[in-house]
Structure 1
Amino acid sequence: MIRPNQKAGAENLLFNCAGLSSGDHLLVLREDPDYAYYDSEIADVIVECARQNGVRASVQTIPFDPMEARLPQSVVAEMKAADRTLFLSRTGDQLRFNPEITNIRPIMSYALDVEMLGSGFGSADYAGFVALKNAVNTALADATHIHVTCPLGTDFCGPGAAFPTASAADVSVTRFPMSVFAPVPSAGFSGVVIQDGFLVGTGSKFYEPYGCDLQEPLAVAFEDNRLTGFSGHPMDVHCAQMHYEKVGQMFDLDPMTMHSWHAGIHPGCAYPTPAHENYERWSGSAFGNPRLMHFHTCGNYAPGEICLNVLDPTIRVDGVAVWEHGVFRPELIEGGSDILEAYPSIRAVFDAPAQQVGQGPNGRLSAG
């Protein structure tokens, strides 16, 4: 039996996001549940809900390559033949910036289990969050000055967001739930990001070690597209330098790059266990909560290979704190209040935002 909250999340995915109708074909591509990244139930719930609504659904378990997204041509052909394809696999995340799959329009699920699917994260109206994302993109692009701080000392600023296209079409897959705005290019920005707890990968490639633990908050200075230095505990500085150098050599790229940044827009996104217990799972799902801000570094492309993460950012757009200490206030951007009024399910998650985003016992992002 599908629980009512799980059905609400699955129907939000199938109809508000995927746009499916009775008679359509959904292809679900999942990774082996033994990896313990996605739970084994979420595919069953989505497929059963699809069938109850007359949608034909088929499921395939596909291989997962930690270093490179590989899809057999037979699977690509099936994706093209289906009305929509849903990835319950990190392969979909690895493909999210690949323009070759844009016309296939696959969906990548950042709801990793039935709890996330059945929460406000999965059930709050998808179309409303797309509208909210677009409103944020417009506000950032129209701004003349953006200033970002955090309680630990992050402090950087720059001009309005110079998105690469007018529409800020930032990925080649449809993301479900919609939980971030388009990555803001770092060109024109400068200052310092304070990274607490750890450095971690971006979901592009799953190398070892995926996380680099830090003893104390690490200051990461940058200017435009360059990281200009680390400061903090001497051991942390040494570990960060070695980690960036190692990852750069591993993938033959310039490690000291800062490509772009974004913050979460979905207060329903929760991660109830400490990030350090599973860095891969945390970095692939928690970033959608407004309490987290996420930076793409180590590679002059999104998402890069090492991400920085800041807890409880304040983001001032032309002097207005649209994010304040990790609280996103959509009513402060044009059209935001209208979206909250039009979508009660979105208003509900803003009225009761998730607070758990992977903090450790000390209430901060920590390595243990």
Structure 2
Amino acid sequence: MSTEHEKQAQRGATNLIRNCLGADAGQTLLIVGEEGEWCHYDRDLCDFLAQTARELGLKAEIVIAPQTNTAADVPAELVAAIAAADHTVFFARMADQLRFLGIPGSRSMFACYTQTRDVLADRFAQIDHRLMQEVYDRVVVAIEASQTCRIICPDGTDLQGAVSFPDGGDELTDFAVEPFPVMIFPPVDCLAMSGQLSLAHWLTSSSTNIYEGSVFTPRSPVMAQLEEGIITEFVGEAGEAARIKAHFERVGAMAGGNPFAVNSWHTGINPRNYSTNQPGQDLERWSNAVFGSPRFTHFHACGTDPGDIAISLFDATISFDGEAFWQDGRFAFLDWPEMQELLQRYPGNEDAFEMRWDIGFERSNAA
């Protein structure tokens, strides 16, 4: 690695340590890596972050965790280590299993979605985390203040209904393990959403649980008809509709709950999110790298909340109370005058809202 490349990667790592974690010299940082056949993260990321943290005066420790299929598989000794650390950073899929559950006694937990050192060296990881956190905070407030939502997509998806929140509350539920860089807002319930949801693209796991046969690629488009968050019918070529229904039933039997529930959805809010990979190289690794793109909307479906099947849409237009927050896959919310004023408060980050369309998936002709 060239000296310049290492310098750029250090900028990304320092942004994580200083602006994201808010870590100070003398504090402890636990870095959790992974091993196993389904790894998503390069191992050298742990060593690089630890080195940068030590140079900044932190006490960094690396733990390589075994592959876990569910949150219940997290070893007790790792749970204790996380609870004892001032900060924990995951370069491991385990973070996705914990993102809605957390660890008792933990203080600061972040999943770092830079799967390679090249991504850590990119502007995606260098944009001031505090700016993107303010973007996150503002879009969450705007969503929570909304009454209605509509999602339309070039693939034929058209869903609409009242905005609803977990457990009948009036706000979104924050992640227990937060993402770095800022990627997405917490899921919005689908309990009041009705219409049609395209299953034209692949289905994957939601990463909450890891299971065999999680990737399902439709041979022809199928439309799921929804009524208040429940799939009532799969419409399409008869054999393919039956095959998809059987997949939902199989996963639902493992997950428990209604196999045809569509529990929630959310969309990426980081216009700098990108990928040089293609979905066909490793679909779940790819989707776990680009879900922060405004081009990428996904639903959590099948079984007990949050659900174990992820349904992907691309280049959607999403409106709250009739105003488009996303337009053809672009985060139009960032065009609002107050968001442009926010950007001006962070000199050196003028490119933060510039959209990268290169996520490894071609734009729809209608977008």
Per the TM superposition, whether the score is higher than 0.5 is yes
**Is 1:28–1:60's contact at 8 Å kept on the other side of the alignment?**
yes
Q: Is the 8 A contact 1:139 1:334 kept in 2?
A: no
Report the counterpart of residue 60 of structure 1 in structure 2. Answer: 63
- In the TM superposition, residue 136 of structure 1 has moved relative to its aligned partner by 1.0
1:133 aligns with 2:136: yes
- Of structures 1 and 2, the one scoring higher in RCO (CA 8 A, sep 6+) is 1
Q: Distance in 2 between matches of 1:299 and 1:33?
A: 27
1:205-250 deviations in Å (ceiling 9; x for gaps):
1211111111233212212221122112333312211110111112
Equivalent position of 1:205 in the other structure? 209
- The one-letter amino acid paired with 2:92 is S
**2:356 equivalent in structure 1:** 354
In the other structure, the counterpart of 2:297 is 293
Question: Which residue of structure 1 lines up, in the alignment, with residue 21 of structure 2?
Answer: 18
Report the Cα distance in structure 1 between the residues aligned to 2:166 and 2:130, rounded to whole angstroms. Answer: 22
Bigger CA drift: 270-279 or 236-245?
Answer: 270-279
Q: Do the aligned partners of residues 100 and 26 (structure 1) sit closer, same or farther apart at CA in structure 2, a change above 3 Å counting? A: closer
Separation (CA, whole Å) in 1 of partners of 2:11 and 2:166: 34
Q: Paired residue for 1:267?
A: 271
Confirm or deny: 8 A CA contact 1:341 1:347 kept in the other structure: yes
Number of residue equivalences = 360
Q: Is residue 212–residue 239 contact of structure 1 (8 Å, CA) maintained in 2?
A: no
Considering only aligned residues, what root-mean-square deviation do their CA atoms show, in Å? 2.2
Matched position secondary structure for 1:112: coil
Q: Please state how far the C-alpha of 1:84 moved relative to its aligned partner.
A: 0.6
Structure 1 pair 340/236, CA: closer, same or farther in 2 (3 Å)? farther
Displacement after TM superposition at 1:284 (Å): 2.0
Q: Secondary structure at the match of 2:22?
A: coil
Task: Name structure 2 gaps, 5 residues minimum.
Answer: none
Contact 1:38/1:88, CA 8 A, preserved across alignment: yes
Contact 1:69 1:91 in 2 (8 A): no
Q: In the alignment, residue 206 of structure 2 is paired with which amino acid?
A: T
CA distance in 2: counterparts of 1:334 and 1:220, whole angstroms: 38
Distance 1:15 1:146, change over 3 A: same
Candidates 225, 231, 242, aligned match of 2:235:
231
Q: Structure 1 pair 167/21, CA: closer, same or farther in 2 (3 Å)?
A: farther
* Matched residue, 1:252: 256
Q: CA deviation at 1:338?
A: 2.7
Q: Which runs of 5+ in 1 are unaligned?
A: none
Question: How many angstroms apart in 1 are the aligned matches of 2:290 and 2:120?
Answer: 14
Contact 1:170 1:183 in 2 (8 A): no
CA-to-aligned-CA distance 1:256-300 (integer Å, 9 cap, x gap) = 101111110001111222213212212322111000101010023
2:76 matches 1:91: no
When residues 163 and 137 of structure 1 are mapped into structure 2, their CA distance, relative to the original with a 3 A threshold, is farther
- What CA deviation, in whole Å up to 9, does each residue of 1:151-204 have, x standing for no partner? 111111122343555552332112211111121111221111113231111101
Residue 144 of structure 1 aligns with which residue? 147
Query: 3-state SS of the aligned residue for 2:216?
Result: strand
1:3 is paired with a residue whose SS is: helix
SS of corresponding position for 1:348: coil
Which residue in 1 is equivalent to 2:118? 115
Partner of 2:73: helix, strand, or coil? coil
1:168 counterpart residue number: 172
Three-state SS of the structure 2 residue aligned to 1:338 is helix
- How far residue 99 of structure 1 moved from its aligned partner, in angstroms, is 4.6
